[in-house]
Structure 1
Amino acid sequence: MNVYGTKQIRNVVLLGHGGAGKTTLAEAMALITGAVSRMGKITDGNTISDYDKEEIKRQFSISTTLIPLEYQGEDGPIKINLLDTPGYFDFVGEVEEAISVADAAVIVVNCKAGIEVGTYKAWELCEKYKLPRIIFVTNMDDDHASYRELLLRLEKEFGRKIAPFHLPIRENEKFVGFVNVVKMAGRRFTVNSDYEECEIPEYSQKNLGIAREALMEAVAETSEEYMERYFSGDEFTQEEISSALREHVIEGNIVPVMLGSGINAQGAKMVLQGIDKYFPTPDRYECIGVDVSTGERFTAKYNDNVSLSARVFKTIVDPFIGKYSLMKICTGTLKPDSNIYNVNKDTEEKIGKIYLLRGKDVIEVPELKAGDIGAVSKLSVTQTGDTIALRSAPIVYHKPEISTPYTYMRYKTKTKGDDDKVSSALSKLTEEDWTLKAVTDTENRQSLLYGIGDQQLDVVVSKLLNRYKVEIELSKPKFAFRETIRKKVEVQGRYKKQSGGHGQFGDVKMTFEPSGDLETPYVFEETVFGGAVPKNYFPAVEKGVAECVLRGPLAAYPVVGLKATLTDGSYHPVDSSEMAFKMAATLAFKKGFMEANPVLLEPIASLKVTVPDKFTGDVMGDLNRRRGRVLGMNSNHNGKQIIEADVPMSELFGYNTDLRSMTGGMGTYEYEFSRYEQAPGDVQKREVEERASKVDRTEA
């Protein structure tokens, strides 16, 4: 593949709902540009994008795939870096990585299915990152697809930005071509996306007039001169129209709507033309970061004539093709066999060859210029989010904004002795996917796997088995309860043991009461008068308390909020020892704790749920069923409400699936641990019964 300069590059992300047709459109575009000689099919498992075994098995995209295409544009050859992203929400991290390096987007909408949740989410992401976009309506060959209805819905949902550049031509209820509204010409498909000119059907004239008038208004709004000409009835030239529309599309004021049938490769050529004509080159944007040497904000245009800087936006770790760091060159030119400086890690690494990845195919290139996207293999230190630069000009760019995973499950290895293999495999998977986290919960002696949703975790289990030949089982996690007391008690702990020779003797009187501080396990004080217990045994008494609070007598959970005071006792000048007083304190603790109205505390999360207005009633009703306390509701001014509530952590298990079900996938949530609160009687009873075998009942 040739080397392309910054002004010849278009970085385009494909977005849309799962199953809308993104991968099929990518295949059609690859066919039109000659990257493949025949289109692959998702059902046959031979597409460029979905090459992973899991994707072939499940027949949907799991990872973002880079597909570089060479296309002969109006003003010469261009390179389109197409980023085909997953549509299912569990894999949103892949979408966020791709969007962080894209300069524009194509939102794919299935005409028969209409506007789906993934369409809204794609639009919101484009708004957030201010990406110019084209909507490509696919599945036009379906008899039940109504383009007119879809256009009306698009305009209703997304406003006057929606501009149909194409209208369909049907003959005998079959999709055979389209009307180009910009050029006011009919097009009849011949082979794939190729077409010949044809008459504009009579039935299209009314809609064509409305669409054309809206476009001309948009053109007129680009300057006062154009506005005057428009009102005086002047016609704009084709060049003036294209130039004005490009400006509007790049600014996000117009979103062109094009149409076709991905499976028949119809319309893919028009998308390529639209990308060439209306989408910006990388040098329209600035790279924003921090100059490490000064700590000041750094901005630069994409420019290949200055020193090198690049940011790694994705890592691929594959047992068969190896490890690749995908990066977007921000400034300068990346050349093979050179040293690069990882600013984040303050380390130099040697790179060998430079590649383009097209699905699983690896294409070697002589260099990559600013604005381009490529890959380097076998970097040992560099990870996703790191910045590559020169040591003399250390710049750090912002890392991709990746969603935080809140769904988690406990996992165990199926085969004894596979723990190290599982740990190593998970390390590789988490390096690839930032929304996946493996956490060791030492308190509850469990290993946890965090992800965006259950489907993602299911894919991880499958990948571990197929890629790395290790098996894990997922189950419901244990939750970190606490124990405390509710009243003050005074008890005696007496430890006496004779075993020939010196015996063991320790005797303490202690009070136990709530400390009022649930953040701290215990507070220890002594008020012993007259040397009843020698001072040198005080630390031993405290040690007894310190060991006891690790596993409480009620349900073997850690103890918090306890104040222990040593008030009195007695000792033996020969038989007393530190060990004896530690044991005496342990006996006092166990007896006193169970007499002091012990209770279980459960962890409470501060939850924020963001949902469209119409779902607020259902969500709040569900939170009440989960023993949640709704604290308030605020509008985010985008037709959504943010519901804030306190909910027990144990009740949030499975919440991701339930929220999606309630809101059709439109609801999102986040939470963080807030505090501990006394658990209700039924919850306490269940926990105490379940953990009875774990409690130390032995009397010393």
Structure 2
Amino acid sequence: MGEKTSTHPGAAGRAVTADRPGNIRNVVLVGHSGSGKTTLVEALALATGALNRAGRVEDGAAVSDYDEIEHRQQRSVQLSLVPVEWAGIKVNLLDTPGYADFVGELRAGLRAADAALFVVSAAEGVEGITGPTRMLWEECAAVGMPRAIVVTHLEAARADFEVMTEACRAAFGGDSSDSVLPLYLPHYGREGGDGHRPVTGLTGLLTRRVFDYSSGARTESDPGAEALPGIEEARNRLIEGIIAESEDETLMDRYLGGEEIDVKTLIEDLERAVARGSFHPVLAAAPAADGARQGLGTVELLELVTGGFPTPTERAVPDVTTPAGAARPALACDPDGPLAAEVIKTASDPYVGRISLVRVFSGTLRPDETVHVSGHGLEDRGHEAHDVDERLGALSSPFGKQQRQLAQAIAGDIACVAKLASAETGDTLSGRGDPLLMEPWLMPDPLLPVAIQAHSKADEDKLSQGLARLVAEDPTMRLEHNQHTRQVVLWCLGEAHRDVALERLRTRYGVQVDVVPHKVSLRETFGTRAAGRGRHVKQSGGHGQYAICEIEVEPLPGGSGIEFVDKVVGGAVPRQFIPSVEKGVRAQAAKGVAAGYPLVDVRVTLVDGKAHSVDSSDAAFQTAGALALREAAAEARIHLLEPVADIQVLVSDEYVGPVMSDLSGRRGRVVGTEQSGSGRTLVRAEVPEIEIGRYAVDLRSLSHGTGRFSRSYARHEPMPPQAAERIREQAENGA
């Protein structure tokens, strides 16, 4: 690592393949939007020969051409795979969106990868290392994922690699800041009048060699004498950091005793520490200059990835069970082992149909073989459980919009599978005779409701199928058909997530929808006792209609529903018509008696009535029962009940005050706080659901992206009179 000066010509025009898991590296790029992840992927593809100087693959498609929406919005909105080859190693680069709304795509990338590159922008300075980026670092740390840091945009004015390195040490180093150290120091050209200092090369700290990119080709030389003091200071710090993580307990004593540790030994210890996830090197990268194929730092980064990042065999395979839940022995990353692969992304191609991006953890995938598809099922999100056999289509390796055919995909590799009709993101592919189910990864909960309706009759006919395909591709989205409000609701992660979903409905599935105000499930109840008389008497030719009933209504505790009690004496209402009265009362209760919301938590007692020997009927007494309930409601005080949610907000300590103040402004009641790890507080509160429709968006803004919350239904309780009156006025005006 840092020793090689040769380059590998890459494999432009053909699929990149691997003959064994040890020759594969799966790397996910993580960083906030605008940090330069996609540009870095293109620079690495250019350095390996997978791209030409125009940034094009053979068919003329750019490596970043994945989704028309990404081009229109100028940001990544989905997980993308770019396979490249370096020194005989296949490197699967997983480019993830940096925007918080697409954290589901990022989680999928973390599942498929064995190591992570955190990309931070020097142009944004210390502020670029945001709270969400630190939270993702901690998430990777929790599962022991190896990580390295790449500082980009060094060509920007006032960009400073040393300042960014110190910021990374503070943000990511935790209790051991010497585990986050640079492997190279950039050297700069002459400063311009705008304060811009072009980065012309890198100095390898372990080798004391200068790698110069200023001529358009990477050249190697010795550093000047004036640079040696700064190099030695940084080098000693790096060596001490490497030795502190070494498995050789004698190495530190030898170093402190004045022994010059062999560079080869240091590099081997460094690579082992990186692969274990205990040391996190910082590197620099910049795009290739005009006429150059290799951007600054790309060779050094590829050497780190191929030499220091773990192979798939060094990472544990997720736990597996049978589809019925029975335990199974742990699997190893073995091409000859039982087949266990996972769909990490589902997409639709207008020509090929459904394409599944699959990480193979064990065994080997081959085209046209029959596999078993198992899925946990996320019924609350519109995803059914799967337990079927399916025949695989063609296997391919993606590159931009190209799909290059593969003969097989071995354990540790990632490939695209065509025409899996039922498989969705998160499903397991296994042997037909040995079905398996992999432990699912954590899916973020969508908490922004978006009520939609078809724009036209033609759209209405296609809406159901379009929505089904949309949620099949994106397990972070939840589809709800609310029977109380009669609305179709898409639950999303944020406004950008919503916009992309609606755009995909329109452009990919040909369905135009309108967004309408989201309704919460209100209820009505009686605030006082009341009585009502329902009289339905009509005379016309033939049989008439005759039914009279008298009822009393009284409120009940929350959650009681509707009770119907018969206290008729003397046969005033014949026994056969008493169920008819109850049916009419319950039908009217379902429609509401004040603002059109279901009536709950009352006891309705039938106390008297009248019937006619000829003209009374089931229908007449149903109508009379409904009329009696409406009359009782006209004489009583009717409360509107709103749903109240239990919410838990996890936020950095510095934002606890603003969060609690905001919750109070939403008519919320804070019921407790508690520490949740270092520097974070869990705030528990009860808040009316009508007040938190946009809380997923507002909390992100309030906490600078560091806050998370969960919600669950608690109960219905009376709305404040003023709010209830507004709802009634809207109902009367037909809003």
TM tier relative to shorter chain: over 0.9
Shift in CA distance, 31/634, structure 1 to aligned 2, threshold 3 Å: same
Residue matched to 1:111: 122
Over the matched positions of the two proteins, sequence identity in percent amounts to 34
Q: Find 1:123's aligned residue among 126, 134, 137.
A: 137
Say whether 1:573 aligns with 2:604. Answer: no
1:292, CA displacement in angstroms? 4.3
Matched-pair contact (CA < 8 Å) for 2:208–2:222? no
Relative to structure 1, is the Cα distance of residues 464 and 637 closer, same or farther in structure 2, using a 3 angstrom cutoff? same
1:307 matched to 2:338: yes
Does residue 547 (structure 1) correspond to residue 587 (structure 2)? The answer is yes
Question: Following the alignment from structure 2 to structure 1, what is the Cα–Cα distance between the partners of residues 702 and 225?
Answer: 45
Greater mean deviation of Cα atoms: 268-277 or 186-195:
186-195
Shift of 1:513: 0.7
* Shift, 1:214, TM fit: 4.0
Give how far 1:358 is off: 1.8
1:18 to 26, 29, 33: 33
Q: Which amino acid aligns with 1:83?
A: L
How far apart in 2 are the matches of 1:257 and 1:479?
49
Instruction: Please give the per-residue CA displacement for 1:537-576, whole angstroms capped at 9, x wherever unaligned.
Output: 1110110111011111210111111111112223232332
Please, which of 404, 417, 428 is the counterpart of residue 363 of structure 1? 404
Structure 1 unaligned segments of length 5 or more: list them: 696-700
Number of the residue aligned with 1:282 = 312
> Is the deviation greater in 261-270 or in 186-195?
186-195
Q: Which residue pairs with 2:240 in the alignment?
A: 216
Contact 1:246 1:278 in 2 (8 A): yes
Instruction: Measure how far apart 1:108 and its partner are.
Output: 0.6
Which moved further from structure 2: 239-248 or 189-198? Answer: 189-198
> Residues 352 and 447 from structure 1, CA distance in 2 versus in 1: closer, same or farther, beyond 3 angstroms?
closer
Residue 197 of structure 1: how far off its partner (Å): 2.1
Cα separation, 2, equivalents of 1:473 and 1:189: 53
What amino acid is the match of 1:99? L
| More deviation, 508-517/279-288 | 508-517
1:464: how far off?
2.8
Count of residue pairs brought into register by the alignment: 687
**Other-structure match for 2:98:** 87
Matches within 5 A, 1:112-151: 112-114=123-125, 115-117=128-130, 118-151=132-165
* 1:698 corresponds to: none
Q: Residues 342-421 of structure 1 correspond to what in structure 2 (within 5 A)?
A: 342-344=373-375, 345-421=386-462
The aligned amino acid for 1:331 is S
- CA drift of 1:17 comes to 0.7
Deviations 1:125-157 (A, max 9, x none): 322332101100011122301122212222222
Indicate if the aligned counterparts of 1:188 and 1:198 stay in contact, CA closer than 8 A.
Answer: no
1:506 Cα offset (Å): 1.9
Q: Deviations over 1:641-677 (max 9, x none)?
A: 2211111111112223322222222222221222111
Amino acid at match of 1:116: I
Q: TM-score, normalised by structure 1?
A: 0.94
CA contact (8 A) 1:385 1:398 kept: no
Which residue does the alignment assign to 1:185?
209
CA distance in 2 between partners of 1:128 and 1:371 (Å): 22
1:259 aligns with 2:284: yes
For residues 137-195 of structure 1, give each alpha carbon's deviation from its aligned partner in whole angstroms, at most 9, with x where no partner exists: 01112230112221222222222121111111113133111221232322221455723
1:296 maps to amino acid: A
Q: 1:662 aligned to 687, 695, 702, which one?
A: 702
Displacement of 1:327 in angstroms is 0.9
**Separation in 2 of the partners of 1:25 and 1:638?**
33
Q: Classify 1:376/1:673 alpha carbon distance in 2 versus 1 (closer, same or farther; 3 Å).
A: same
| CA distance 1:199–1:477, change in 2 (3 Å) | same
Instruction: Identify the residue that residue 449 of structure 1 maps to in structure 2.
Output: 490
Q: Tell me the CA shift for residue 455 of structure 1.
A: 1.3
Match of 2:184 in 1: 166
Measured on the aligned residues, the alpha-carbon RMSD in Å equals 2.2
Distance 1:18 1:46, change over 3 A: farther
Report what 2:379 is aligned to: none
User: What is the distance in 2 between the residues matched to 1:598 and 1:429?
Assistant: 41
Q: For residue 263 of structure 1, report the CA deviation from its aligned partner.
A: 5.7
2:103 partner amino acid: V
CA gap of 1:234–1:626, structure 2 versus 1, over 3 A, is same
**CA distance in structure 1 between the partners assigned to 2:512 and 2:215 by the alignment:** 49
**Cα distance in 2 for residues equivalent to 1:172 and 1:130:** 42
Q: Residue by residue, what CA displacement relative to the aligned partner does 1:33-73 show, whole Å, maximum 9, x if unpaired?
A: 111112539xxx9641243111111211111110011111x
Deviation at 1:621, TM superposition (A): 1.3
Q: TM-score scaled to structure 2, two decimals?
A: 0.89
**Unmatched 5+ residue regions in structure 2?**
1-14, 192-197, 290-294, 376-385
Deviations 1:88-147 (A, max 9, x none): 111111111111111000011101213332532431332233210110001112230112
1:271 paired residue number: 301
The amino acid of 1:268's aligned partner reads T
- Partner SS state of residue 298, structure 1: coil
1:241 matched to which residue of 2? 266
| Matched residue type, 2:188 | R
Partners of 1:313 and 1:400 within 8 A in 2: no
Residues 648 and 191 from structure 1, CA distance in 2 versus in 1: closer, same or farther, beyond 3 angstroms? Answer: farther
Asked if 1 retains the 8 angstrom alpha-carbon contact of 2:588 and 2:629, the reply is: yes
Contact 2:370/2:432 (CA < 8 Å) preserved in 1? Answer: no
